[in-house]
Amino acid sequence: MFDTLSDRLASTFKTLRGKGRLSEADIDATAREIRVALLEADVALPVVRSFIAQVKSRALGAEVSKALNPAQQVIKIVNEELVGILGGETRQLRFAKQPPTVIMLAGLQGSGKTTLAGKLGHWLKSKGHTPVLVACDLQRPNAVNQLAIVAERADVGIFAPEPGNGVGDPIQVAKDSMEYARTKQHDVVIVDTAGRLGIDQEMMQQAADIRDAVSPDEVLFVVDAMTGQDAVNTAEAFRDGVGFDGVVLSKLDGDARGGAALSVAQITGRQVMFASNGEKLDDFDAFHPDRMASRILGMGDVLSLIEKAEQTFSQQEAEKMAAKLAKGPKEFTLDDFLAQMEQVRKMGSISKLLGMMPGMGQMKDQIQNLDEREVDRTAAMIKSMTPAERDNPTIINGSRRARIARGSGMDVSAVKNLVERFFEARKMMSKMAQGGGMPGMPGMPGMGGGAAKKKAKQQKKAKGKRRSGNPMKRQQEEQAAADRKAAGAGSAFGLPGAGNDPSSFELPEEFKDMLPPKS
């Protein structure tokens, strides 16, 4: 959703990085570019004005003029101001001292309240709660049936005594749900209310009556993040007519410009508490303003990535795998490779996971075009192998590759590539587990890139030795080379004047331990 805004901001900051000192004209030009980027993202005009004023005020102050790297300081200011307009600190749900906690969902029809009720219930259940969904949307056709299906998928309880489709009293259903929750020992009640295509008095009154009937601990206003500035107008009307405590952004994975997400907290004075960014039940999480600002600026979201990994991978399994890799690369089999791959798949969309990594903004197109089914194809090939082949892939010859390809519906070349990739991955993972670092990465201990860099340097040096075009000078050079060769003659180590005695030169520290002790 924020791709266009991220690209504009990235290009704006790129022009600053090459400057050691920023003039007032530079800061004005940067503020102008940021203003245009925010307006193109459909951010509300009052929010843009306030944001730009704060950025310019701070950028013209001492914190930038005295900074060693003023460009980075400006980026830091923009990041902090983005966090501010997104709501500042993360706001947690308030739970009742005496259960059940009541959470009421409000919003326009089509904003995604019913689906979001299931996602919220699923999220609360993962935190150890026992939620129940209450069907108080008795107006929209099949709303009750939809909530029942969502509750079943989320594996949470549902209270739906009325069939809906215009039949039943939603206020009475809301009142009865409280007793039902206490009887069935549900500690959280999520009330799904009716919406309209637009703001009207009847909807407002019904929402207010349900609020008065159940006295909710939290009233959450569900905003469709794809509706732009109109979402802000709707939020203001609900705040004044019914009142709400927090905002939930739905459809954050859409391709709209994202202005609602950047405006609603600042305009309404209510923080964004949750965000839904996909169709699956797991595509839902608490909203962290600092992490969202980091994503917008292309700096990734490492903390969310770590949290997802912690939820998916058990500490015991991780330690077991690390111990296996430390023993040697041959201990890591294709079965382990498949298990690790399936664990990563449980974390969610691979494209979204890659998008959380810092610096991946430059590979946006490649990530978006990533074929998620490649994991399924790889799993099919591994599952078409025999236990012996998975345990020792070196035995996979031509006839075995043909059989695996037929069993998985893939080409023989795909099977060959999988085995080769596995060997490379096993070598790399074993190297990392033993503390040697990642092969092929220069500048790190044990990372093979140093040798390649040294070789390239030697080649460059050798290439630089050219013979002079002057015959007299060339004769002098050849004579000097012959003298150097004669001076080193007889030396097994090729060192001038060293003769055959290795004690006449100093060995590097790491080789001294290899010499026998002196008598």
Token digits of residue 358: 């810092």
Of 15, 241, 225, nearest to 106 by C-alpha is 241
Task: Tell which phi-psi region holds residue 243, choosing left (phi > 0), alpha (psi between -120 and 50) or beta.
Answer: left
Quick one: pLDDT at residue 43? Answer: 81
The residue extents of the domains of the chain are 3-85, 101-288, 320-433
Nearest 5°: CA angle at 15, between 10 and 21?
Answer: 125
Output the pLDDT for position 119: 92
- pLDDT at position 24: 81
Task: Give pTM, 2 decimals.
Answer: 0.64
Report pLDDT for 363.
59
CA distances 200 to 129, 168, 276, Å, are 35, 20, 26
Domains 101-288 and 320-433 share a fold: no
- Per-residue pLDDT at 179: 92
User: Residue 391 corresponds to which tokens in the numbers above?
Assistant: 């345990």
- pLDDT of the residue at 153: 92
Are β-strands 272-276 and 284-286 bridged in parallel, bridged antiparallel, or unpaired?
antiparallel
Domain 320-433: homologous superfamily in CATH: Signal recognition particle, SRP54 subunit, M-domain (1.10.260.30)
What's the CATH architecture for 3-85? Up-down Bundle (1.20)
* Averaged pLDDT, groups of 10, the chain, 519 residues long: 72 74 81 85 84 86 66 82 83 89 88 89 92 91 91 92 86 92 92 80 84 91 78 81 86 68 80 84 84 73 65 68 67 81 73 64 60 81 90 89 91 90 78 52 38 48 54 70 54 40 44 45
* 184 Cβ contact list (under 8 Å, min separation 6): 132, 157
Dihedral over Cα of 72, 76, 79, 81: its sign: negative
- Give 101-288's CATH code, choosing from 3.10.20.30, 3.30.230.20, 3.40.50.300, 1.10.10.10: 3.40.50.300
Q: How far apart are CA 273 and CA 124, in angstroms?
A: 14
Query: What pLDDT shows up at residue 124?
Result: 93
Q: Which residues contact 114 (CB under 8 A, 6 or more apart)?
A: 137, 143, 146, 147, 150, 192
Q: In what order do the strands lie in the sheet with 157-159?
A: 157-159, 131-136, 188-193, 101-106, 218-224, 246-250, 272-276, 284-286
What tokens appear for 72 in the block? 């980075």
